[in-house]
Amino acid sequence: MGLTGLQIQKLLPKTNCKECGSNTCLAFAMKLAAKKAELSQCPYASEEAKRVLGAASEPPVKCIELGSDRTLQLGGETVLYRHEKTFVHQTALAVNVNETDPQELIDSTLGHVRDYVMERVGETLRVDMVGVTQLGRDAHGFVELCKKAWDTAQRPLVIRSADPEALVAAAEAVKGTRSVLACALSETAGTLRQAAENFGHVLAVTAPDLDALVSVTTKLREEGFNDLILCFQTYSLSEQFQTNSIARRAALKDNFRPLGYPSLTFVKPQGLLEDTVLAINEISKYGGVCVLPSFDPAQIASLMTLRLNIYTDPQKPIQVEPRAYEIGEPKPDSPVFVTTNFSLTYFIVSGEIENCGISAWLVVPECEGMSVLTAWAAGKFSGATIGKFVKEIGLENRVSTREIIIPGYVSQISGELEENLPNWKVTVGPQEAADLESFVRARLTTS
């Protein structure tokens, strides 16, 4: 919850000097409350005002940055439901290795984390982190594995041990990687906080229940340490679902800062299906980091696809750049197709053209990321707009083909398009991209 204008005014000098551009301190305070001004515009703002207003302007769920370049971000969320605005930072997926695992398994898992890449609707998706767990008593082996995991995968780590001394040693061994130390209990929070501070890491804290967890985070906050992640101790899927929801609701609806952090969950290995369901729960219900017990490409691909769906901004359709795309190795006389720049549409159509085994040009005008019928209804995918775009990109200079194939759903624009492209023949293609292959086989010769 932000401060009101009157609350903010009490923190200002009240001299009405106008140097901030407002006539009075109260007017400036009202602008601050409405987030239409910044405190730095007042040269006389006290340290107290900066501290209080700075804290009030923090997102209710703190944004935590991980990795040596701090590019992996968690939290920073402002809404409970994605349709209210959007979710900001997606659940980070990690794959775990244990120091007791066979060497071949460790090597293959770390290699998979390093090399796995999935391309989907123009996004390049990779595994975000590596979990390193000490299961046995070999603290030295655990520390060495942390170093190896970082050297191999170059991903921030979730360093997990019940032995605080081993955790401190591992924290030092991968200093500067800005990884997560897991997990601090109330009795070890002081030692591990020091290690996190000294070696530049984030601290995951845990406790038997939410009240005890709040005590630990409150104490750490009072000591000035705020780089925290919450690890809930739960014993069933439903309890995990509830706890994630309660904590996030408290942070967002009640501005309850001790629970205003991203969360961390270790998936206990119970079988691929059960593990996947728990990971789905984390992705769907506010999880910050989800550590999977092993690498399974089918599981990772499914989870990343789900995550992409949930964390895509519902107000901004994923779009591809408007231009003429080369599918395969098109020649000047290769067929010319046209569709909209909604990513999903583009990738389905381009994939189906590839499946036909031909090379072609795929013209994609600016349609604000709408699908074919929506863009047509909004006047963004008409004969006039397509014709104008074809001329703007100079397609007629690059191709000798003078036939353009439009989606069957907008057959009604063919006349208008012919008027705008007088030397072209407009052919109405199939309504569904899945029918492109039979359409191509019937109408076109292979390039």
Query: Residue numbers of the site for ligand SF4 (CB under 6 A)?
Result: 12-13, 15-20, 22, 25, 28, 42, 44
Query: Residue ranges of the alpha helices (H) in 312-368?
Result: 343-355
How much of the chain is helix, strand and coil, in % rounded to 5? 45, 15, 40
Q: Which is nearer to ligand SF4, 46 or 218 (CB)?
A: 46
Residue 53 beta carbon to ligand SF4: minimum distance, rounded to whole angstroms: 12
Shortest reach from residue 33's CB to ligand SF4, in Å: 13
Distance CA 356, CA 350 (A): 10
Nearer to ligand SF4, 52 or 72 (CB): 52
Q: Which two three-digit tokens encode residue 447? A: 């390039």
- Cβ closer to ligand SF4: 13 or 314? 13
The residue (of 5 and 408) whose beta carbon lies closer to ligand SF4 is 5
CB-nearer residue toward ligand SF4: 21 or 269: 21
Nearest partner of 67 among 176, 192, 181, 172, judged by Cα: 176
User: How many of the other CB atoms lie within 10 Å of CB of 10?
Assistant: 13
CA distance 49 to 331: 66
**Tokens describing residue 10:** 């009490």
Identify which of residues 28 and 342 has a Cβ nearer to ligand SF4 in the complex: 28
CA-angle at 312, arms to 310 and 318, nearest 5°: 140
Q: Which is nearer to ligand SF4, 28 or 439 (CB)?
A: 28
Residues in the chain: 447
Select 22 or 90, whichever has its Cβ closest to ligand SF4. Answer: 22
Residue 190 CB-half CA count within 13 A: 1
Q: How far is the CB of 19 from ligand SF4 (least distance, A)?
A: 4
Torsion of CA 236, 239, 245, 251, to 10 degrees: -110
In the bound complex, what is the minimum distance in angstroms from residue 262's beta carbon to ligand SF4?
35
Q: How far is the CB of 221 from ligand SF4 (least distance, A)?
A: 29
CA 266 to CA 55: how far, in whole Å?
31
Minimum CB–partner distance for residue 22 and ligand SF4 (Å): 5
Output the smallest distance, CB 54 to ligand SF4, in A: 16
Tell me, what DSSP letter sits at residue 342?
A: B
Q: Between residues 40 and 124, which has the closer beta carbon with respect to ligand SF4?
A: 40
**Nearest in space to 184 (alpha carbons), one of 237, 176, 171:** 171
Q: Among residues 20 and 159, whose Cβ is nearest to ligand SF4? A: 20
The phi and psi torsions of 352 (rounded to 5 degrees) equal: -70, -35
Min dist CB 6 to ligand SF4, Å, is 14
Least separation in angstroms between residue 125's CB and ligand SF4 is: 47
Please work out, in degrees rounded to the nearest 5, the angle formed at the alpha carbon of residue 198 by the alpha carbons of 195 and 203.
45
Nearest Cα neighbor of 131 from 105, 149, 152, 151 is 149
Half-sphere exposure of 202 (CA within 13 A, CB side): 30
Beta carbon of residue 36, minimum distance to ligand SF4 (angstroms, whole number): 14
Contact (CB, 8 A) for 146 and 156: no
- The half-sphere exposure of 188 on its side-chain side, counting CA atoms within 13 A, is 21
What is the rounded CA–CA span in Å between residue 127 and residue 137?
28
Task: Tell me how far, at minimum, the Cβ of 32 lies from ligand SF4, in Å.
Answer: 9
3-state secondary structure of 410: helix
Closest CB to ligand SF4 among residues 25, 417: 25
